[in-house]
Structure 1
C-alpha cells in the first residue's frame, strides 16, 4: 500500500503492518503505535541516508512490522563492505535515539512517562534487527561478510536458514504463550512474514548470483579496475559447483587440473558465464575449453 513520495522515494506500508496497526488501535494503543511508527521510519531513513552517501539511488521504502526495506537501484553493484554500512546504520540510529532521549530526560526536557516506552521501542527494534537472520539487518551483515569467502548464493542460503529458525522460534513462543492463556497475534504475523521473506530470497539466490556475474562488466567499465581471484578446480567439476565458489566484486580466473594436479587448461569468468548460457549448470567445466579456444582464436 503506497503512502506517498518523500524526497523522490516511494513510501509503501506492508499489509501485515496495516493489520498490526488495526490491532493496536482496537486495543487502545494508538499513542504507542505512533511512537513505534516513528522509530521504524527513522530507522529506515538512516538506511536511505547511508545509501545516498555511498552514491546509490534508493527507489522505494517499504515499512514492515520489524523495520523496513530500502530497495536500491542496481543493488547487485553494492559491494559487501557498503552493504554492511547500509545495514548497520539502522540499528545505530536507534542507539543514537536512545542516547539522545536519555540526555533530554536527564535535563528534564521530556516527561518520564513518555521516556520509558520510547527507549524500549528503540532497543527492541535495534536488538531484533541485529539478529543474524535474513531479511533482518543482522542477516544482511552476516551475508555480506560470508559472501566474501562463500559466494553470494551460499551466504544467502545460510542467512535465510537463520530467518526460518527465527520464524519457528516466534511460532513456538506464541504457542507457549497460548498454553498459558496469552494470545499474541503479533508473534504469528511476524513469523509468517519472516518465513515468507526468507523463502523468497532463498529462491532468488541463484538468480542473484548469475546477475552478479553480469554486473561485473559494468563495474569494470565504471571503475576502470576490479580485484581478481584465482580458482583451481578439477577439470570434470560441473559448472554449478564452480560458480558456487565465486564471490561478489571479484573477477575470477579458473585453472583446470586433473587428479594428479596437472594443468589441463585455463578459463575466465566470462567463459563460465557463456558456458552457463550455452550448456546449462550441469556440464563439466572442461567442455568449455574448446569453446574458449575458438573464441580466442
Structure 2
C-alpha cells in the first residue's frame, strides 16, 4: 500500500515553492500543518477509490487541496462515486477529534491546537462549496447527471459553479481580511472551470466510450428516446442519462418506427466509426 501511495501521490511545484518561502519567512509550521491536512483529505479519496478497485492515475497535491485523476469516467455505480467524493471531507471529522485529543494530551500549545482546528474547519467547509472541481461541485454534478441528460448536467454544473465562485469571492472580499491567497485561489478555480468548459465535449466522448467498453453502466430503469430519422447519432447520445438504459425509436416518413438498443447505437458510432451518421442510416444498417 505504501508503494502504491508513493507511486500515485505527487506534489505540485507550486507547493514546493511555498514550502521554500515558508522556511525563509518563518511560516513553515503553518504550511506543514496545511499540507498534512490536505494529504489526509486526499488519502481519504484515494483509499475509498482503492477499496472499489478504481484505476487511479495520480493524486496531485496543490497548496489548497488536491486532484485525484482516475480512469473511471462517470460510469461507476452512483453510490461508489458519492462515497469516493465524500471520503475526503469525512477525514476532517475524525481529524477534529484527533486534534482535540492532542490538545488534551498537551503535545502542542493551545495556539497551535487552535490553528489546527481553524485550518481543518476551513478545508472542510471550503471543499463542500458547490464549485468545480471541489468535492461540493462533484456532488452537485452527480446529482444533476442523474436528474438530467449528461450533457445538460455538464452545462448547468459549470454555470452554477461560476455563479457560486463569484458569490464566494465577493463574500470573501467584503467580510474577510484581504489576502492574495484568496485571489490566487479564485483565479485557480476560474482556470479549472474554463478548462472544464473547453474540454466538455472531450469529457462527454470519454463517458460514451467508457459506457460502450463496459457494455453500459448499472441500470435503474429503461428510458425511451424518440427521434426523427434526420437526427444525427450524436444528438441521440446527448439525451443519454446516467442510471438509464436507452431504447431509441426512429420514426420514418411513413410513420413506422425502428427500435435500436443503446448498445447497438454505441457500437455503430465507435466500432463502425460512423461518427457523422444520422438516425436513418443507423436504423437501415441494423434492419439489414
Smaller-chain TM-score range?
0.7 to 0.9
After TM superposition, give the deviation of residue 270 of structure 1 in Å: 3.4
Q: Is the 8 A contact 1:20 1:186 kept in 2?
A: no
1:50 pairs with one of 26, 43, 48: 48
* 1:98-152 alpha-carbon deviations (Å, 9 max, x no partner): 1222244345554322211111111111101011111001111111122123233
| Residues 223 and 244 in structure 2, CA contact (< 8 A), matched pair in contact too | no
Q: Which runs of structure 2 are paired with 1:175-194 in the superposition (5 Å)?
A: 183-194=178-189
Measure, in 2, the Cα distance between the counterparts of 1:173 and 1:197: 20
Distance 1:268 1:247, change over 3 A: same
**Match of residue 140, structure 2, among 135, 139, 142:** 142
Cα distance in 1 between the residues matched to 2:165 and 2:12: 18
Per-residue deviation, 1:207: 2.2
Q: Give the secondary structure class of the aligned counterpart of 2:199.
A: helix
Q: Give the stretch that moved more between structures: 187-196 or 66-75.
A: 66-75
2:210 to 212, 215, 218: 215
Correspondences of 1:5-24 after superposition (within 5 Å): 7-22=5-20, 24=22
For structure 1, the residue ranges without an aligned partner over 5 or more in a row are none
Q: CA deviation at 1:24?
A: 4.4
Question: Is 1:272 the counterpart of 2:272 in the alignment?
Answer: no
Contact map agreement 2:8 2:56 (CA 8 A) in 1: no
**Residue 271 to residue 96, structure 1, CA distance change in 2 (3 Å):** same
Quick check: 226-235 or 77-86, which moved more?
226-235
2:101 aligned with 1:96: no
Kindly tell me the number of residue pairs found equivalent between the two proteins. Answer: 283
CA distance in 1, matches of 2:64, 2:164: 13
* Shift in Å, 1:55: 1.4
**SS at the partner of 2:194?**
helix
Structure 1 residues 113 and 8 mapped into 2: Cα distance closer, same or farther (>3 Å)? closer
Question: Could you tell me how far apart the structure 1 residues matched to 2:30 and 2:124 are?
Answer: 17
Q: How far 1:190 sits from its partner (Å)?
A: 0.9
How far residue 228 of structure 1 moved from its aligned partner, in angstroms, is 5.5
| Contact 2:215/2:263 (<8 A) preserved | no
Deviates more, 1:268-277 or 1:110-119: 268-277
CA distance in 2, matches of 1:33, 1:270: 50
The within-5 A match list for 1:71-110 is 71-106=69-104, 108=106, 110=108
Residue among 169, 180, 195 paired with 1:200: 195
Aligned residue for 1:71, secondary structure, equals strand
**Cα distance change, pair 169–264 in 1 and its aligned pair in 2 (3 A):** same
TM-score scaled to structure 2, two decimals? 0.82
Q: Which residue is equivalent to 1:113?
A: 111
1:68 maps to 66
SS of structure 1 residue aligned to 2:59? strand
The superposition leaves residues 16-51 of structure 1 with CA deviations (integer Å, 9 ceiling, x where unpaired) of 444544554554321111100000000001111101
